[in-house]
Amino acid sequence: MNDLLQPVGYVELIKTNTAFRRLWFGNVVSLFGDWFNTIALYALILNLTGSEFALGAVFITKLLPMGLASPLAGVLVDRFDRRKVMIISDILRAVVVLGFLVVDEPSEVFLIYVLTALQVIIGSVFRPAQSASVPNITRKIDLVTANTIMAATWSVMLAAGAALGGFAAEWFGLKTVFVLDSLSYLLSAWFIYRTSIPSPIKTGPLPSLFKSAHKEVKEGWKYLQSHPAIKRMATVKAVWAVGGGALVYMLALIGDQLDPAHQAASIGILFAARGVGTAIGPILAKNRFKDEKQWATVVGLCVTLTGFGYALVGLMPWSWLVAIPVMLAHIAGGANWVLSTVLLQKRSDDRFRGRVFANEWLFVMGMETCSILVASLVLELELLSLKSTVLGFGMVSMIMGLIWVFRAVPSEKNDYLSGNVPEA
């Protein structure tokens, strides 16, 4: 591909790049179904238990198994055809989510955690496979455009899926929502099946994978440790997660308090506000920040601004107006996400890219898990009110962003000056 040409626009990339378009279509329907499922799941657990800790455990079950599975997932992504990995993941998840149809009594709550863990473990290969595939089907000069589209799609589907999923749960019932989620995975698999994705893979039988998995995980970790400029960008999302994990979890509780009579719909509306923000953020970042040397500063300040938005939520009287600072907080969060992702894709060697993104996901999931666990225990034990806890974690996020700026940015500048910033 000719990197000397100018980058294309959003619509042009989708129209002219068939492989990217089909991968993107699969992403659209899968994410839409995911957010249908997620809001229904939050409403189901609150209906059956009424416990803040039980809800926090659902969030953790969506995060921790995926994080723990990520190192092996990275090996799979780097070793096998990434297209096939994504298709198999979609088909298996389509089967698993149908298991939620049998859960309708408090005694069956344990099945929610078992099925959720299975769903995310199977899906743990999908995200790194997708992130690692984008550079294989787009020109380097179009990576910002491609990742902005993917990030904005996640956000739009969050907004639309969360809002419509909340209302669908109210109108048609939770079981209908779970069936739609299953169908969305199958449709995603069909789009990806029709996609051509070049994948420099290592061939070999499956048993040999498990024999060499430890070695390949270790190689991926060493690669990350030996390239500070890559490691730095692989940890910035985890810096956000220190406060951000708890804040997103508490967004569901805020929605529940705003309108307990229409629980799923109110949770869906606040998550939709989050989605609108994360859709706007990448577009603003792409248009405003052209110089990659500024991005380390930008992502750190975005973490701080995310915390500031939620601190406002903790300080203001609660009404539907809280959706405004939530949206503003996630404008910053969306910008952080896409800029750090693009830098990881550009800096990582394709042989290790799947493991780089898998390790990044391990960092994020680990931090989010700890953050949510602390917040859920604080609330369950009634150590602080919900408003005070939101304010506290908003301030934590602000501090973490400033720490990033003061510690990581000088290192980033030194690496640029010494020529230690790798580019694939």
Hey, what's the torsion of the CAs at 240, 150, 113, 249, to 10 degrees?
A: 40
Is the pLDDT assigned to residue 79 strictly greater than 80? no
| Residue range 185-243, pLDDT digits in tens | 999 899 999 888 876 555 555 545 555 666 767 777 788 888 888 888 888 899 999 99
**Domains, the chain, ranges and CATH?**
14-193+210-418 (1.20.1250.20)
365: its two tokens: 């999931």
pLDDT at 3: 47
pLDDT of residue 424: 44
Left if phi > 0, otherwise alpha if psi is -120 to 50, otherwise beta: which for 124?
alpha
216-222: which pairs have CB atoms within 8 A and are 24 or more residues apart? Answer: 216/75, 216/78, 216/79, 216/355, 217/71, 217/72, 217/74, 217/75, 217/355, 219/352, 219/355, 220/71, 220/74, 220/75, 220/78, 220/352, 220/355, 220/356, 220/358, 220/359, 221/71, 221/355, 221/359
Q: DSSP string of 207-245?
A: HHHHHHHHHHHHHHHHHHHT-HHHHHHHHHHHHHHHHHH
The stretch 293-306 carries a mean pLDDT of 90
Place of tokens 């595939």: 133
Per residue in 111-134, pLDDT tens?
888 998 898 888 888 877 887 788
Of the candidate ranges 9-18, 176-185, 238-247, 258-267, the one whose mean pLDDT is the lowest:
258-267
Residue 202: what pLDDT? 55
Burial class of residue 95, CB neighbours in 10 A (0-12, 13-18, 19+)? middle
* Total residue length of the chain: 424
For 321, other C-beta atoms within 10 Å of its C-beta total 11
Predicted local distance difference test score (pLDDT) of residue 2: 46
- Among 187-191, 262-266, 275-279, the range scoring the smallest mean pLDDT is 262-266
Rounded Cα gap, residues 83 and 386, in angstroms: 43
Return the pLDDT at 403.
Answer: 93
CA-to-CA distance for 109 and 120, rounded, in angstroms? 17
Name the least confident of 92-96, 128-132, 214-218, 385-389: 214-218
pLDDT at res. 169: 67
Q: Which of 80-84, 195-199, 203-207, 280-284 has the lowest mean pLDDT?
A: 203-207
Does the reported pTM lie above 0.75?
no
331: confidence class by pLDDT, cuts 50, 70, 90: very high
Q: Which helix (H) or strand (E) holds 126?
A: helix 126-137
Q: How far apart are CA 259 and CA 398, in angstroms?
A: 29
Compare 82 and 151 and report the one with higher pLDDT.
82
pLDDT attached to residue 421: 67
Structure-block tokens of residue 300: 């750190």
At 104 the pLDDT is 79
